[in-house]
Amino acid sequence: MPMINGIAQPAISEGAKGARCSDLETPALLVDLDTMEQNLATMVRFFKGPVKLRPHFKNHRVIALAQRQMEFGAIGVTCARLWEAEILVRNGITNVLIANEIAGETMVKRFVELAGESPVIVAVDNRTVVNDLTFMSRREGAEVNVVVDVDLGLERCGVKPGEPALALARTVVERGLKFRGLMGYEGHLQALCPGEEKDHEVRCAIGRLIDSKCMIEKAGIPVDIVSCGGTGDFRIAGRVPGVTENQAGSFMLMDSWYEPFAPDFKPALSVLATVISKTPGERVVVDSGVKALSGERGLPTVKNDPALRLKALHAEHAVIETTDSSVSVNVGDKIEIWVRYHDGTVHLHQRMYGIRSGAVEEVFEVEH
């Protein structure tokens, strides 16, 4: 049996195509293909104009889905990790932005080796890595593309907007690396409900990125790329003049936590689970705990049956209250549980089953 983190994964894979969804071994990660395709179509339609879509890979980690996004008009792929960029390039997706920092000799060397194969871009926010990239790119004779990461208020990575962004851009150019532009991720604003306040906050945050771009251009350094945005604010971020591309990722699979903040998209992901125990009038227990479902953003809910209320997630079990006497679930029944936090769930699975009309139409391998 294939294993992830020592956890045995269902053996059914390609052979599952055509099977009834309810016949899958559980826990199984399901994606509703109609919903996923609708989500993708909505996003692609929005980015038909001058601002382009470069969707984030970390949200699904499926090469076939990244390829589908490219076929539908994405200009490239955003990712968080060097290994993700390596896998994407190996599979023919060469326009990759690592919207994250790398550090340390091993990672810098691997990045420069990858840069020798393909014009992958990496975010930088400090001189240490700029110097390491410079040293390694000279040694390997590879051109290295970078964007300067600007902190737009998330307070994670990134230099401060304005002077610090300009200073780092200058260093990049002086060292002979290829300065491509700027990125920033206003992640702290994604979970605001749509409305005037969100509109204002997002415009202010991205305004800081655009001001930095203008300063850098005034200093005579061309800025080709200005990348930002997520699923919760794509309509705002994607229309700010000066922005060239958007890094949204959650929109395609979506989860029930994100849904209120991004009403254009519907959750497509669920986990199929089997009832393995029943205490009549009290509870049933299913075989999907935190090793199959993230509880990090709150307890997931049961799909298609609001009377079944998830009470607890254990490692291998979810406990579901059945005090409502109208509920009839029995040992051996299968139920679907909405994925509440897909970023914390997808990587727990080896594969994702694409479901249409109750049958498995596609089997997607999840990269690890």
The residues near 308 (Cβ < 8 Å, ≥ 6 apart) are 284, 302, 320, 321, 322, 327, 329, 335
The CA distance from 175 to 170, in Å, is 9
Residue number, nearest CB to ligand PLP: 230
The CA distance from 43 to 235, in Å, is 9
**Binding string, 264-303, against ligand PLP, x = CB under 6 A?**
----------------------------------------
Q: In 10 A of CB 198, how many CB atoms?
A: 19
The CA distance from 336 to 128, in Å, is 48
Of 151 and 336, nearer to ligand PLP (C-beta) is 151
CB of 187 vs ligand PLP, minimal distance in Å: 5
Which of 10, 76, 161, 230 touches ligand PLP (CB under 6 A)? 230
CB of 230 vs ligand PLP, minimal distance in Å: 3
Which of 27, 76, 181, 232 touches ligand PLP (CB under 6 A)? 232
**Binding string, 135-154, against ligand PLP, x = CB under 6 A?**
--------------------
Residues 241-260 that bind ligand PLP (CB under 6 A): 247-251
Closest C-alpha to 201, from 258, 161, 154, 248? 154
Q: Half-sphere exposure of residue 353, counting CA atoms within 13 Å on the CB side?
A: 31
Segment interacting with ligand PLP (CB under 6 A) among 17-25, 101-109, 230-238, 270-278: 230-238
**Binding string, 172-211, against ligand PLP, x = CB under 6 A?**
-------------x-x--x---------------------
Residues 47-106 that bind ligand PLP (CB under 6 A): 56, 59, 78, 99
Total of chain residues touching ligand PLP, rule CB under 6 A: 15
Q: In 10 A of CB 147, how many CB atoms?
A: 25
Determine, following the binding rule CB under 6 A, whether residue 231 of this chain makes contact with ligand PLP: yes
Of 248 and 286, nearer to ligand PLP (C-beta) is 248
* β strands within the chain, DSSP E: 3-4, 7-8, 28-32, 52-53, 77-79, 96-98, 121-124, 145-149, 178-183, 225-228, 245-246, 269-279, 283-286, 309-313, 318-321, 334-338, 351-356, 359-365
Question: Positive or negative, the Cα torsion across 17, 19, 20, 21?
Answer: negative
Of 202 and 292, nearer to ligand PLP (C-beta) is 202
Of 125 and 287, nearer to ligand PLP (C-beta) is 125
Give the binding site for ligand PLP (CB under 6 A). Answer: 56, 59, 78, 99, 185, 187, 190, 230-232, 247-251
